[in-house]
């Protein structure tokens, strides 16, 4: 199996990088920032948003609830306020399974 480097964990991500990770427009990330209290990106002197890994994790949860589960903004807000840990756990499992699927696909293609 070929050597793979671990992805680099950054301290801060720009709004463009975060939007690219989630495959949504930048305006959507800005809108979610206004709608959800768990998102608190830092801003530099120029006013650019800088998202920490915790913010990215929260955005992934919001994306999961809105886009994949089909919840409304109000429903996702309520869900996160009452079942945050459960949602985090489910999202971690989902990401682990997607990584396993990708690894198996690579192995199948290399045979």
pLDDT in tens, 79-111: 888 888 888 888 889 889 989 999 999 888 887
Question: Within the chain, where are the H helices?
Answer: 15-22, 26-35, 53-63, 73-82, 84-110
Q: How deeply is 101 buried, as exposed, middle or buried, from its count of CB atoms within 10 A (0-12, 13-18, 19+)?
A: exposed
DSSP letter (8 states) at residue 44: -
Domain boundaries, the chain: 13-110
| Separation between Cα atoms, residue 111 and residue 89, nearest integer Å | 34
Q: CA torsion sign, 33 to 20 to 63 to 89?
A: negative
What's the confidence (pLDDT) of residue 11? Answer: 87
Average pLDDT over residues 5-20: 84
Which CATH class for the 13-110 domain? mainly alpha
pLDDT in tens, 31-49: 999 999 899 899 889 988 9
Give the pair of three-digit tokens for residue 103: 């690894």
């Amino acid at each position: 199996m070929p050597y793979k480097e671990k992805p680099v964990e950054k301290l801060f991500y720009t709004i463009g990088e975060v939007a690219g990770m989630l495959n949504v427009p930048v305006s959507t990330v800005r809108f979610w920032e206004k709608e959800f209290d768990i998102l608190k990106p830092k801003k530099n002197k120029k006013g650019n948003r800088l998202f920490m890994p915790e913010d990215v994790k929260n955005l992934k949860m919001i994306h999961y609830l809105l886009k994949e589960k089909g919840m409304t903004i109000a429903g996702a807000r309520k869900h996160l306020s009452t079942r945050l840990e459960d949602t985090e756990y489910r999202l971690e499992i989902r990401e682990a399974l997607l990584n396993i699927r990708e690894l198996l696909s690579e192995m199948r293609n290399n045979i």
